[in-house]
Amino acid sequence: MHSTRYIITFVAILTMVVALVLSLLATGLKPIHDRNEAIYNKKAILSAIESHLDQKASTMTADQVQKIFDDQIQQVVVDMQGNALEGVQADQVDMAKEKKKPLAEQRLPVYIYNGQDGKIYIVSVRGSGLWDEIWGSIALEDDFNTISGATFDHKGETPGLGAEIKDNPKFPREFVGKKLYNEGGKYVSVQVKKGPITDPVHQVDGISGATITSNGVTEMLERGIKYYEPYFEKQK
């Protein structure tokens, strides 16, 4: 049996050694982690405008992603009244944190892609799935009505069911060409529909077995894109 003093000394030394090793490691790798995370988020944004790019975002290297962002993407942050804010980049806006603020104070990121076919506006939306948060980037053509591409991600949806919004590339592609406004100019958003589609301009086919996640996507789009309406009005 060891004495109490020995045990305390042993544990204290062990803890200090471990703490030193881990803090050195975490501090040393932080710049790489931050860069990886930024590239990961940028790739998600680029995959919303995949049809306008030469290469699929998931197969791009970090340098290629950065080059497109430097050369062709303009980052804007707008407030709820649609005014562009000075001195802040879109990638500095954390949607998860914005969502916790009072609605009037939330800031919205906009990425504007200057391609050969004109400007594409990429907006960010965030909502709730079945288990946890879901979010996405929606690319709009410069009529602020036609969806040009979409990408979704989630924190903890069920693989094979709700997680299909991310894992199945067919799902986001269904949004291409859908319209946000009806013929009378009223905002109707796009619905993820269970069962047969009755309105091919404003509805996409839902994922079987993932009704709550599908409804979450519908709600997220309807609410999230509407926040950008004042900004769209000023750009028109």
Of the ranges 18-26, 64-72, 91-99, 226-234, which one interacts with another protein (CB under 8 A)?
A: 18-26
The pattern of x and - marking residues 159 through 198 that bind another protein according to CB under 8 A reads xxx------xxx----------------------------
The Cβ of residue 70 has, within 10 Å, a number of other Cβ atoms equal to 8
Q: Does 132 bind another protein (CB under 8 A)?
A: no
In angstroms, the CA 9 to CA 23 distance is 21
Q: Does 20 bind another protein (CB under 8 A)?
A: no
Instruction: Tell me the two tokens of residue 103.
Output: 């609605």
* Residue number with CB closer to another protein (15 or 92): 15
Instruction: Tell me the two tokens of residue 101.
Output: 């603020």
Q: Does 22 bind another protein (CB under 8 A)?
A: yes
Residue type, 95: M
Site for another protein (CB under 8 A): which residue of 59, 81, 116, 198? 59
Q: Does 97 bind another protein (CB under 8 A)?
A: no
Site for another protein (CB under 8 A): which residue of 12, 61, 209, 233? 209
Q: Does 11 bind another protein (CB under 8 A)?
A: yes
Reduced 3-state DSSP string for the chain: CCCHHHHHHHHHHHHHHHHHHHHHHHHHHHHHHHHHHHHHHHHHHHHHCHHHCCCCHHHCCHHHHHHHHHHHEEEEEEECCCCECCCCCHHHCCHHHHCCCCHHHCEEEEEEEEECCEEEEEEEEEEECCCCEEEEEEEEECCCCEEEEEEEEECCCCCCCCCHHHHCCHHHHCCCCCECECCCCCECCCEEECCCCCCCCCEEECCCCCHHHHHHHHHHHHHHHHCCHHHHHHHC
* Residue number with CB closer to another protein (171 or 227): 171
* Residue number with CB closer to another protein (40 or 187): 40
Q: Does 10 bind another protein (CB under 8 A)?
A: yes
Tell me the residue length of the chain.
236
Q: Does 25 bind another protein (CB under 8 A)?
A: yes
CB of 7 to another protein, least distance (A): 4
Q: Does 66 bind another protein (CB under 8 A)?
A: no
Q: Does 14 bind another protein (CB under 8 A)?
A: yes
Of the ranges 24-32, 91-99, 105-113, 187-195, which one interacts with another protein (CB under 8 A)?
A: 24-32
Which residues bind to another protein, rule: CB under 8 A?
A: 1-2, 6-7, 10-11, 14-15, 18, 21-22, 25-26, 29, 32-33, 36-37, 39-40, 56, 58-59, 158-161, 168-170, 209
